[in-house]
Structure 1
Amino acid sequence: MASLATPGLGSKELSVWKVSMRAGTQGPVHAIDREQVWVALSGAIEFVVDDGVKLVRTGQAAIVPAGEVRQVRVVEGPAEALVCMSAGGFATVPGSDERHPLPWAE
């Protein structure tokens, strides 16, 4: 994760960061308490979400609602994406009440 615009870098309302992932990589199952917009810069990214699967290819965007449980997978890679959401935010994992800060969005 590479922070591009965050409160720590001067943004008052938004956080934007770049995600770089190798082919075959998948993230943990989790939810974020903010709506996110993912814009694929390269590769193809699959979002396994509450209501199915969203596939995003280079130049496309996915909107992931706040609180939606998701897992991010790179199905064609390497993949890079820009992610934007309102500043702050926490991640949670199913079955736990613990909230995890997102350092790249602070």
Structure 2
Amino acid sequence: MTVIRHAESRRTETPNAVMTTLASPTQGGSGQAVWRVDMNPGQVGPLHAIDAEQVWTVLDGGATVELGGEKLTVEPGDTLVLPADVPRRLGADPVTGFAAIVVALPGMRAYVIDDTRVLEHCAVPDGDKLLPAWVV
């Protein structure tokens, strides 16, 4: 059994959110990447896609999720299963912000759909795709 202590969690801050890595291959050899996302009220992420499925469970606040041209809102207790390679954008509730736990394969890559290259400073380039720092 591996125990990853809170003090061993890794924080990655981006212009859009703070990702706290809870488990990953470099933290105890996990075959999954698990992280917490915290977004300030009104914060909106870039239009991007991920080349692997992700599962998001909302802990606090709420968000608007744009996924493949569809828009929906989520609140605490809701779980999203986001398919691979579908454009997405998340925006935190303007009053409460947003917090979620996310699980995905640690080798997933992100790629930006529009010109906003905000993911670059927090990821390792891999061609046109980026390896987010919080999944390694």
Same fold (TM > 0.5): yes
Consecutive unaligned residues of structure 1, counting only runs of 5 or more, are none
Provide runs of 4+ in structure 1 moved above 6 Å.
none
Q: How many residues align?
A: 106
Q: Deviations over 1:53-79 (max 9, x none)?
A: 132100111111011100010125221
Once the two structures are TM-superposed, the CA of residue 16 in structure 1 deviates from its matched residue by 0.5
Consecutive unaligned residues of structure 2, counting only runs of 5 or more, are 1-18, 116-126
RMSD: 1.6
Q: Deviations over 1:4-47 (max 9, x none)?
A: 01011124321000011111000010000110111110001111
Q: How many angstroms apart in 2 are the aligned matches of 1:11 and 1:67?
A: 26
Q: How many angstroms apart in 2 are the aligned matches of 1:56 and 1:30?
A: 19
Which structure's relative contact order is higher, taking Cα pairs within 8 Å and 6+ residues apart?
Answer: 1
Equivalent of residue 32 in structure 2, options 11, 14, 31? 14
The aligned residue for residue 109 of structure 2 is 90
**Structure having the larger proportion of residues in strand:** 1
Normalised to the residue count of structure 2, the TM-score between the two structures is: 0.72
Structure showing greater radius of gyration is: 2
Return the letter of the residue paired with 2:133: P
1:41 aligns with 2:59: yes
